[in-house]
Amino acid sequence: MQKVSVAIVGAGLAGLYAAYVLEKKGIKDYVVLEARDVLGGRIASTIHAEGKVDVSGEGFDLGPAWFWPAFQTDMARLVDELGLETFQQFETGDMLMERSSNQLPERTRGYVNSPPSMRIAGGMYSLIDALYQRLDPARIVTGQTVRSLRILEPSIELLSEDAQSQTVSYSADHVLLAMPPRLVESQLTFSPALPDELARQWKATDTWMAPHAKYIAVFDRPFWR
């Protein structure tokens, strides 16, 4: 069993930022456990090269793409602290709106966000990469799917599975679950069990934009300009 002071479950933005804060506070005894083999969670980017789209650390955003500094002040502060370049989302022009599949799209006047939405140069994954570069890589463990948490006073036992379905155990003084509440409720086993009301609340908590999908269309030239 591996012992740590803090175990962070999930290496998306929340998990990596938590590790970043620990590092700034001088707390080095932590581990970040991520089920997938890539970091970022819902933040994912691709690049387009020679007609192929490959997963990469920069490029087109498949997940979150914008942020609003006027509203998301903590995010704006982090982006500035990490020295990331930003630019305003291009919004000039009309829109095509398809109301149904059996009607031609309608051209309508476009709109401009106020305050403006901003993007990060290189794609939102630049934020993930910047955080990762400031962490100890040995503390980030991918391919570890946490299955259960059990209180064993005075610590908490975490059991996870690696890609070969081998069980790995950790003992932590503190656990931070950096996952959507609904996934925590459905994918992790707790001992003792979660209070019924808390479990219901987590199960009923929607994951923002989860039902949506994105696609990327790449053209030889910007014919719409």
| pTM as predicted | 0.86
Q: How far apart are CA 225 and CA 223, in angstroms?
A: 6
Nearest to 82 by CA among 27, 16, 38, 140: 16
End-to-end CA distance of the chain: 60
| Cα–Cα distance list, 50 to 30, 47, 53, 54, 214 (Å) | 41, 10, 8, 10, 21
For the stretch 102-152, pLDDT in tens is 989 998 887 777 788 999 998 899 999 999 999 999 999 999 999 999 999
For the stretch 25-36, pLDDT in tens is 999 999 999 999
Domains of the chain: which residue ranges? 1-58+125-224, 66-122
CATH architecture for segment(s) 1-58+125-224: 3-Layer(bba) Sandwich (3.50)
